[in-house]
Homo-oligomer: A and B are copies of this chain.
Amino acid sequence: MSKAKRTELGQLGEFGLIDHLTKSIKLKNASTLKGVGDDAAVLDYNKKQMVVTTDLLLEGIHFDLTYTPLKHLGYKAVVVNLSDVYAMNATPKQITVSLGISSKMSLEAMDQLYEGIYLACDKFGVDLIGGDTTTSLTGLTISVTALGEAEADKLTYRNQASVNDLICVSGDLGSAYMGLQLLEREKKVFAGNSEAQPDFAGYDYPLERQLKPEPRRDVVELLEKIGVKPTSMIDVSDGLSSDLLHICKQSDKGCRIYEDKIPIDHTTVSLSEEMNFNPMIAALNGGEDYELLFTISLADYEKFKTDNDLKIYAIGHITEASKGCYLVTSSDQEVELKAQGWNHLKE
C-alpha cells in the first residue's frame, strides 16, 4: 500500500477531505433529489416501496489491512449491502458511507478506498448520497447503509417458505471462507519470515471470492425475466446453515438439504484438502459467499431449466417445522444444521 506520494489528511481538514472525496459524484437515479452536502440527502420514491439495510465493517474483525487492498475493501463494503438489497428482490439506488479513519492514513490510501466504493456505485447504478467522516483512535471503521426500491408485490421476505418448496442457491459455497484461511496462513508465514513470498499459486478463485465478492444482481434480473418470485430469499453472508435456518425459523418450517447437491468449487476442494479442512464445513458455516439462497414452488423450477445463462442449484426442500432442519450426507445420515453467527464474543 506504500506509494510515492503521501498527503497527510491533516493538510485538508474535515471539509476539505469531504470535498475531495465527493467532488466526482454524479447522481444516477431520478429518485435521488439531493445527495451529499446538506444535513440529509433527499429521496423521492413515488409509488414504490423502499428497502434499507446497513453493515458495519471493523478493522481486525471484518478485514485485515495486511492483505486486503483498500480498493477491494471499499468495493466489498458497498456490495455486501447491495447483496442485502438484492436478497429482498429489490434494486439498490442509494448508499451512505461513514468512515472512522486513523490520522496515520494518507489521502492516497483514502483515494484507493473510495476508488473501490465508486467502482461498486458505478457498476450497480447506485448513488452515494451522504455519510460521516471522522477520525478513529484505533482501526479503520466503515459503515454503509443502502436504500433500494421495488414494486410492493415483488419483495421477497424470509417468512413465506412453504412445505415442499425447493431450496435453491445461486452459486458455489465455502470459497470465500477458504480464501480467508489461505490469506491467514500466508500472513503467518510472512510474520515468521519477512523474506518469504506468499504462496497463492492456483488459488485465485477462493481469494477473489473473499476479497472481491459480487452481489447477484444477475439472479434478481433472471427472476424478473422468467417471471419467478421466490417464496423466500436471503443472501449467504453468515454461511448456508445460519442463513437457511433464518428462513426456516421465520417461515416456521423445517428443511432437508443434501450434501451431494451443495455446489463447491473444485479449486476450493483442492485448497481444503491441502489445508486439511473439510470443504463441506466451509460451505455450511463459512459465510461471505454472497450467493442468493431462496425457496421456490416446485412448479417454478421448470422455468429455470429453460434458461441456459445462469446455473441455479436445487439443494433440498422445505418440510414441516416438526421435522427439523437437517443435512442429509452422502452416506444417508442426517446431521442437524446449527446456526453459527459470530463467535468472537465467546473468545
Contacts and interface: CB of A to CB of B under 8 A. Distances in A.
Contact of A40 (B52, B60, B100): B52
Interface in A22-66: 33-34, 37-47, 49-56, 58-62
A34 B160 CA distance: 14
Given A43-B49, A52-B94, A138-B139, 16 more contacts: A10-B346, A14-B342, A37-B158, A39-B84, A42-B155, A45-B45, A54-B96, A55-B132, A56-B141, A58-B100, A58-B135, A58-B137, A60-B138, A61-B100, A135-B342, A145-B145
Nearest to A33: B49
A87 B39 CA distance: 6
Q: How large is the interface on A (under 10, 10 to 19, 20 to 34, 35 or more residues)?
A: 35 or more
Given A15-B339, A136-B61, A347-B103, A42 B38 contact: no
B14 A341 contact: yes
Interface in A232-275: 233-235, 242, 250
Nearest to A347: B103
A113 to B, nearest CB: 15
Contacts of A220: none
Contacts of A343: 13
A85 interface: yes
Nearest to A52: B41
A157 interface: yes
A131 interface: yes
Contacts of A139: 137-138
Given A56-B98, A61-B137, A130-B54, A38 B88 contact: yes
Interface in A68-114: 84-85, 87-88, 90, 94, 96, 98-100, 103
A116 interface: no
Nearest to A346: B10
A147 B94 CA distance: 13
Given A134-B61, A145-B145, A49 B42 contact: yes
Nearest to A292: B39
A344 interface: yes
A181 interface: no
Interface pairs A-B: 4 shortest CB-CB: A14-B341, A138-B138, A40-B53, A143-B143
Contacts of A342: 13-14, 134-135
Contacts of A45: 43, 45, 50
Interface string A151-190: 0100101100000000000000000000000000000000
Given A56-B100, A138-B138, A13 B61 contact: no
Contact of A145 (B10, B54, B148, B341): B54
Contact of A96 (B14, B33, B145): B145
A129 interface: yes
A9 interface: yes
A147 B33 contact: no
Contacts of A100: 56, 58, 61, 141
